[in-house]
Amino acid sequence: MKVEIEEIKRLLPHRDPFLFVDCVNIIEIGKKGIGYRKFLPEEYFFKGHFPNMPIVPGVILIEALAQTAGIIVAKSFADQSQKTVLFTSVSNAKFRKPVVPNDEIIFDVKFINKVRSIYKFYGEAKRNSYKVCEAAYTAMIINQQTK
């Protein structure tokens, strides 16, 4: 099941310039999927990270993995508009190769387990099937406050 940007915006609270997933192919709702992002030369962070040698910051790759998992989990909720996924921890993060402008990255994420409202995932970011980043991370599901 493919989830495009407009539906992603319904599932996650993130917006430009902090939405790092262009689309997601959900393989199994709540359990497994692949996010996609092409990092364009005009991304705001390339101006300072680093001038004359632009590299996507590792923290943004981790955030994109977490956003991909958030989309996969949010899609499993009956009332998607009343839930929010909040990143809570990251462990065993490894950065293997730099990601540069025009790189197309896939974010391959897999559900590990769930304890109450805390979901644990493992994810790998890949460019042309080469792993550029990997991490285990957790997120908490909360009910949104209605105003």
Does residue 49 have an active-site annotation?
Answer: yes
Residue 94 near residue 133 (C-beta atoms within 8 A)? yes
Single out the catalytic residue among 19, 29, 43, 49. 49
**Opening angle at CA 65, ends 63 and 71, nearest 5:** 100
Using the Cα atoms of residue 22, residue 26, residue 31 and residue 36 in order, give the sign of their dihedral. Answer: negative
Q: How many CB atoms lie within 10 A of CB 5?
A: 11
Catalytic residue IDs: 49
